[in-house]
Structure 1
Amino acid sequence: MSAPEQRFTPVLLTLPGLTPTLALEILPHGVTLHRLFVQADGRTHDLLIGPENPADHLTQKYTNTIVGRYANRLPVNQDAFPLSRNGHSSTFTPQSNESPTVSLHGGRVGFDYVEWTPLLDPSESQLFTDAEKSHLNGSDGVVGVIFKRISEDGEEGYPGRLLVETLVSLVEPSGPQAESVKTGSELKLGSVVIVYRAKLLDEGKVTPINLTQHWGFNLDASLKESLTVKEHTLSIKADHTIELNNVGLSTGSLLPVTGTHHAHAEKESKKIGEKWPTSGYDEFYVFSPRSTPTLPTRVPVSEFTPTSDLLKEIITSEASSKDPLVQLASEKSGLRVSFDSNQSGVQFYSNNLTNEKNGARKKIHGGSGVSGAGDSYGVGSAAFLEFHEPLAAWLNPSTIGHSGNDTLLASGEIYNNFVKMDVWFKSPVA
């Protein structure tokens, strides 16, 4: 098999069991979640927008890919930024790509555009412990694959040689499932868990790091009736957004959401389209303080032993079900997704910069699957929910949220970032 074929050959994950409810296709190109299949009420849904042909992700950038080393926008200056943490120091020169003064999603060739190596044997992982790798054989209701790459010192201006591993996994639903869909009750179909780990391989270095999955959801698209998420209900447990300047960079100030179109409080049950802003949504929401602590975003290497098991805490936690940070739901399809994360906020983007004349739409979503056929996804066709830390957090300490993470990683530390998404289905009452 040639390298290009490997890059776009999906790795398939399915839940254990005779009738799996979830299946996920991941591409080594950019750790791209190409398809997320949900089997519910005799119908197959793909919850993620995107192209039919895996290779079309080359041109439909940031569609369900990882982004890094740094998600979102960083300022580009003439001078390098000095970095300091734990007695180590480095300098950082972001590379402009969106505009002369803005570096977007890691620079000109970010993590989304490179090939990652799937570790088909989990024992090859260096950043997941023996205890954590023991969960990935299916016996605990978990299946997963770890993708690896090394980002070289100086890549896109980032200091330090960085080892990065990303675990993508499916988890069987836990707890009793006694309720019947015939009564209109809701069933949990399973979970998607993504864990990002990173470690500097050089001594005495500091690097900015802020990884996320740039995934775009439309819970109705497979019904082939509508390509808008304006009828979806969205809730975000956030009191503030980050103020942005005219090129989308953080000003370092927080803005309250109360009384604005950014108030996506669960109690309001507001549909996305009810207060739709003229330019759509592209905002970072800082989560409200949490009542219980979550997992650390950085772990000293000295405390990371073979028996350490942060993954068990993630896969067994019920926070994403009982106290989710974010929820997206559709009455039309009966589908709902609920999220937990140890990150301080979420970027909500409503696919504003797209054009139906460009790109391709999946056949399962009613498209031709042909790039440039004119039937791609339009504005408002997806809700991108990207869990990460605030924009340029180390430059804007007043915006740092509950994790206290300034997004700097020093030698001797392991970066630990997770998002867990539960998938639910509620059949309409007859």
Structure 2
Amino acid sequence: MGITEDTFGTFCDPDTGVETKVQRYTLTCKTGIQVQVISYGAGVSDVLVPDKTGMKDHVTLGFDDIKGYLQFPYQGSSVGRRANRICKGKITIDGRTHQLSINNNDNHLHGGKRGWDKYLWESCINGRSVVFSRLSPDGEEGYPGDVLAQVKYTLDDDGGLHIDFEAMTTKATIINMTNHCFFNLAGHSSGQKGLFEHIVKVNADRFTPITKDLIPTGELSPVGGTAFDLQSPVSFGEAIPKAPDQGFDHNFCLHQVRRGELGFAARFHHPPTGRVLEVYTSEPGVQIYTGNFLPQEKGKMVGRNGTSYTYQGSFCCEPQNFPDAVNQANFPSDVCRPGQPYRHFMMYRFSVEK
């Protein structure tokens, strides 16, 4: 139990040309769960969890070396400055409009062309935690303000991976950070068959409908009687075919979760292995994504141990504020101001149900 450190490879910064070592940290706990995090993207590179027979397997998509993370974005990374989509990349704060970079059709996604997931973060071990930090300069990807951001990972004795995001800014800006792990509790190589076996429950009584470009319409619609009603446990195999375009990439509005306090968001259970993932957050929403944009063909995305990762072979559960909140008056605010630090606390809790 504890934390060890090694070098995972090197990263050449495309802006400066400077080559720097990528640090990897391995966190373990008494339940047998092992988590690895890397300084590139301040991300989770691996989660190893035993099943009900004691057999361990990787439950996140991942790669054997740093090259895979450079080629395929958002794999386990910390996403910012603003996770999810912003319509046309336009934000208005205190009457002033800023144009952010456009990188997803006509919109802004996950911090832009080079969001925080594509940087090497400073890192250190602090007690039982690994801490990553970076300074995002004023104007980066169009955002106002110098922002000092921090991501802290702590693995507790019961298999809970705590992820604490904090940030401070010199100007009013928007911040919305999350983790972007791709999970498959059946094992990273089990594909769509394994995904469809999962039993999912989401603590949300409303969701935010979206346009064809996946931008919220501004409505807050009840999930009752729709494909988005995941309040009672249901298999992905049953739920996904009922969803629009037979897949989820939607924000769910959490029920009775007080912003700023850690509350239950979702539960995922894979009965054949017994593995369970519970997700908790201090933010009001959670994006459920079922890998709809992963490659249809095998061999296009080759991951750990030569595994081919394909369409709907994994899911993401991304706790965060609602998408495009800055442009929707009835959504919770995502404006961060000087002297008012941004904080988001979340947890992935891994366990086994025998």
Task: Tell me the TM-score normalized by structure 1.
Answer: 0.73
2:25 to 11, 34, 48: 11
Q: Secondary structure at the match of 1:55?
A: helix
- Once the two structures are overlaid, the 10-residue window that deviates more, 349-358 or 48-57, is 48-57
Aligned partner of 2:57 in structure 1 is 45
* Alpha-carbon spacing, 1:52–1:25, altered in 2? closer, same or farther (3 Å): same
Aligned alpha-carbon RMSD (Å): 2.2
Distance (whole Å) between structure 2 residues aligned to residue 46 and residue 226 of structure 1: 16
User: Is 1:36 the equivalent of 2:1?
Assistant: no
Larger strand fraction of residues: 2
User: What do the CA deviations read for 1:381-421 (whole angstroms, capped 9, x no partner)?
Assistant: 11100000001212113233xxxxx0000011111101112
Alignment of 1:324-343 (within 5 A): 324-343=264-283
Correspondence for 1:27: 38
Once residues 423 and 28 of structure 1 are traced to their aligned partners in structure 2, the CA distance between those partners, rounded to angstroms, is 23
1:231 to 1:82, Cα distance in 2 relative to 1, 3 A:
same
Please point out which of 70, 73, 78 is paired with 2:85: 73
Identity %: 23
- What SS does the aligned partner of 2:260 have? coil
Aligned residue identity for 1:325: A
Report the residue type matching 1:337 in the other structure.
L
Q: 1:420 is aligned with what amino acid?
A: M
Q: For 2:301 and 2:65, how far apart are their aligned partners in 1?
A: 10
Instruction: Work out whether residues 51 and 60 of structure 1, in 8 Å CA contact, stay in contact via their aligned partners in 2.
Output: no
Q: Which residue number in structure 1 is paired with residue 195 of structure 2?
A: 229
Superposition TM-score, scaled by structure 2 size: 0.88
- What do residues 207-244 of structure 1 show as CA deviations (whole Å, max 9, x unaligned)? 01111111111010268587531110110011111121
* 1:259 and 2:225 aligned: yes
Partner of 1:403: none
Cα 1:288–1:226 shift into 2, 3 Å: closer
SS where residue 208 of structure 2 aligns? strand
Give 2:206's aligned residue. Answer: 240
Where do residues 27-426 of structure 1 align in structure 2 (5 Å cutoff)?
27-40=38-51, 41-76=53-88, 81-84=91-94, 91-99=97-105, 101-120=106-125, 122=126, 137=127, 143-173=128-158, 190-200=159-169, 202=170, 205-221=171-187, 227-266=193-232, 269-275=233-239, 276=241, 277=243, 278-290=245-257, 293=258, 295=260, 324-355=264-295, 356-363=298-305, 368-369=306-307, 376-400=308-332, 406-426=333-353
Gaps of 5+ in 2: 1-6, 12-18
**Alpha-carbon distance in structure 1 between the residues aligned to 2:91 and 2:348:** 35
Q: Using a 3 Å threshold, how does the CA distance of structure 1 residues 413 and 360 change in structure 2: closer, same or farther? A: same
Query: What is the CA distance between 1:53 and its match in structure 2?
Result: 2.4
Shift, 1:92, TM fit: 2.3
Q: Residues 294 and 81 of structure 1: is their aligned pair in 2 closer, same or farther, counting only changes over 3 Å?
A: closer
Aligned counterparts of 1:159 and 1:294: Cα–Cα separation in 2: 24
Contact preservation (8 Å) 1:197, 1:417 = yes
- The code of the aligned residue for 2:272 comes to K
Give 3-state SS (helix, strand or coil) of 1:112's partner. helix
User: How far 1:3 sits from its partner (Å)?
Assistant: 4.9
* Paired residue type of 2:104: E
